[in-house]
Structure 1
Amino acid sequence: MKKIWLTLLAIIGVVIIGLFGAGMYFYHVAVVPGPKDFLGKTSTLKPSDPLYQQKKWFADTTKTHWYETTADGLKLDADYIPAAKKTNKTAVIAHGFMSRKEEMGAYAALFHQLGYNVLLPDNRGHGASQGNVIGFGWLDRRDYLLWARQVVRKNGQNSKIVMFGISMGAAGMVMASGEHQLPQIKAYAVDSPYTSVEDEITYEAKQQYNLPKYPLVPITSLVTRIRAGYSFEEASAVKQVHKNHKPIYFVTGTADKFVPTYMTKKLYCAANSPKEMWLVKGAAHVKSFSKQPQAYQQHIKQFLTKYVH
């Protein structure tokens, strides 16, 4: 009997070690910054790109570096471009997972054409910003609000700020919307946000590795809690948007296979503030702008005109 118990305990020990090892592996895949096999490579700028003019404008325009220090001591980096005509309107623009501010040039051009100053931060752990973990929007939500405060300090108390993001940056902006808000923040606009980090990791585990949620996702979440200071469960954009009182605009493509459309629909339903949603037929993940450039800009403009005067 003793041998049986010892054997059983040994098997249980091996299983626990194996599961923890798997959790560590997927923690490095998901939460540690670096090249990701499941992400496509950044394409070079080509005249055939529907957003070529916008991206070329951004590449050629002069930018000023802004810096911010987070509550946990990380130095963050951002690019700032003033509007062509002096204004108190500024858009804070957030990039996606393992992206960087330079890849947000088309969106910077969009807001610049609408008459806004634009501020493009690199998320912690991305681009020129410090950090050794990916915050998935949850650690970034308060960083975005720090950037908004810096806009007020530099551009004045009468600033009117729009918070915009795509993908992970969109989820982070939705998460930021549930925090204490500056009166200068007038609206949010988000493209393809996920409902929570837990939901997105669970979805990608199935899509990329054909793995179920249990036990891998909770174990990886536990490792993330220990190593990065947050769990997947707490990082909920749904709970945050429910607390938001600012107007919010949602965009998503109906052919999104990375952050499925139902997540944006769920966030829209959870929002209690003034809200609108645009479903772009046939658009893949964060491809709504390139699929319908003129309509995209017009939709954003029409929504913001109601709240940013």
Structure 2
Amino acid sequence: MAGLLALAVVIAARNVRTARAVLHPARQALKPLGDATLANRTDAVLRTRDGLTLRGWYVPSRNRAAVVVLHGFAENRTQMLFEAEALSRAGYGVLLFDSRGHGESDGDLVTWGDREREDLRAAVDFLSARADVDPSRLGVLGFSMGGTTALLEALDDPRLKAVAAAGAYPSLVADTRYSYGKWGPLSVQPVLWTMRLSGVDVDAVDPMARLCDLKGRPLLLINGDVDAYAPAFLQDAMFQAACEPKAYWVVKGAHHGEYAKTAPEEYARRLRDFFAAALLGGS
């Protein structure tokens, strides 16, 4: 009995340390950009309503529409250069930035979509004030944590007219159970407790429960069929929970985030076609 109790303590302590690590990831330096990459970019500074300064780049719009591009956990804006290039070449304004606690932005707590909603709201505020952008033609594309953030904020911000989420998780509880569920509640609950004690509203990070609140705004879900971090059963459940108009592209042979590596031309085309139909009336 004492041995089982000791094992339980070890498992719980290990998962508390894991949770602290995912709340405070090491920052990744921005990859250097060549002169031809996002050639017309300018530095962008965003101010969130809870007092943080976020840093990024903006490429002006040539078609009056614009898309916010959100990176994933423990990364920065340079993770999404392929997507930004594909959209900017098609004429969209593109805003990509480092979310809180990442890259060159303020903050030291990553909340897995909870407070990151404020980051996206600041980005929408920025685009809505741009002279080159029609504020009725705004969309968002997010990957992984950025995808979940995109879904969460879009549910409450009708200014976002189209949402594309790649490798997103349907809820933080579901993702935690999948990632840390080897020992059931013994390994899952310490992670959730640690997040809650750090100020994360775990239960609020549950876009799947409200996906129909997009109320007719188009949704595109993307996932790799061999993605170990965003498994098919969770992605399928999220798609089934959504209301029309919706689309779901499963990228054959793609691991987490490998859409551009596995099917670059089709990935770029699907993004262009989705936002054209949603923001430009299919033009």
- Which of the five TM-score ranges fits, normalised by the shorter chain? 0.7 to 0.9
Match for residue 52 of structure 1? none
> Rg larger in 1 or in 2?
1
Structure 1 Cα separation of the partners of residues 161 and 80 of structure 2: 21
Alignment-mate amino acid for residue 92 of structure 1: V
Relative to structure 1, is the Cα distance of residues 258 and 20 closer, same or farther in structure 2, using a 3 angstrom cutoff?
closer
Are 2:151 and 1:180 aligned? Answer: no
Gaps spanning 5+ residues in structure 2: where?
none
Measured after TM superposition, the shift of residue 181 of structure 1 is: 1.7
2:65, 2:133 within 8 Å by CA — same for their partners in 1?
A: no
Measured after TM superposition, the shift of residue 213 of structure 1 is: 3.4
Are 2:26 and 1:68 aligned? Answer: no
Match for residue 24 of structure 1? 16
Relative to structure 1, is the Cα distance of residues 147 and 295 closer, same or farther in structure 2, using a 3 angstrom cutoff?
same
Displaced runs of 4+ in structure 1, greater than 6 A?
14-20
1:221, 1:231 within 8 Å by CA — same for their partners in 2?
A: no
2:77, 2:98 within 8 Å by CA — same for their partners in 1?
A: yes
Alignment-mate amino acid for residue 126 of structure 2: Q
Relative to structure 1, is the Cα distance of residues 114 and 60 closer, same or farther in structure 2, using a 3 angstrom cutoff?
closer
Normalized against structure 1, the TM-score is what? Answer: 0.80
Relative to structure 1, is the Cα distance of residues 231 and 58 closer, same or farther in structure 2, using a 3 angstrom cutoff?
farther
Relative to structure 1, is the Cα distance of residues 58 and 264 closer, same or farther in structure 2, using a 3 angstrom cutoff?
farther
Relative to structure 1, is the Cα distance of residues 254 and 20 closer, same or farther in structure 2, using a 3 angstrom cutoff?
closer
| Counterparts of residues 198-209 of structure 1 (less than 5 Å) | 198-206=173-181
RMSD over aligned CA atoms reads: 2.8
Deviations 1:243-270 (A, max 9, x none): 2222111111111111112222211111
Are 2:266 and 1:295 aligned? Answer: yes
Alignment-mate amino acid for residue 25 of structure 2: P
SS at 2:204's partner residue?
Answer: coil
Normalized against structure 2, the TM-score is what? Answer: 0.86
Alignment-mate amino acid for residue 23 of structure 2: V
1:253, 1:282 within 8 Å by CA — same for their partners in 2?
A: yes
Higher mean C-alpha deviation, range 193-202 or range 63-72: 63-72
Gaps spanning 5+ residues in structure 1: where?
1-7, 36-40, 46-54
Match for residue 80 of structure 1? 58
Question: Of 82, 87, 101, which residue of structure 2 is paired with 1:111?
Answer: 87
| Counterparts of residues 2-41 of structure 1 (less than 5 Å) | 21-34=13-26
Match for residue 235 of structure 1? 205
Structure 2 Cα separation of the partners of residues 58 and 218 of structure 1: 48
Structure 2 Cα separation of the partners of residues 231 and 77 of structure 1: 25
Structure 2 Cα separation of the partners of residues 171 and 249 of structure 1: 12
Match for residue 51 of structure 1? none
Alignment-mate amino acid for residue 98 of structure 2: D
Match for residue 225 of structure 1? 196
Are 2:164 and 1:194 aligned? Answer: no
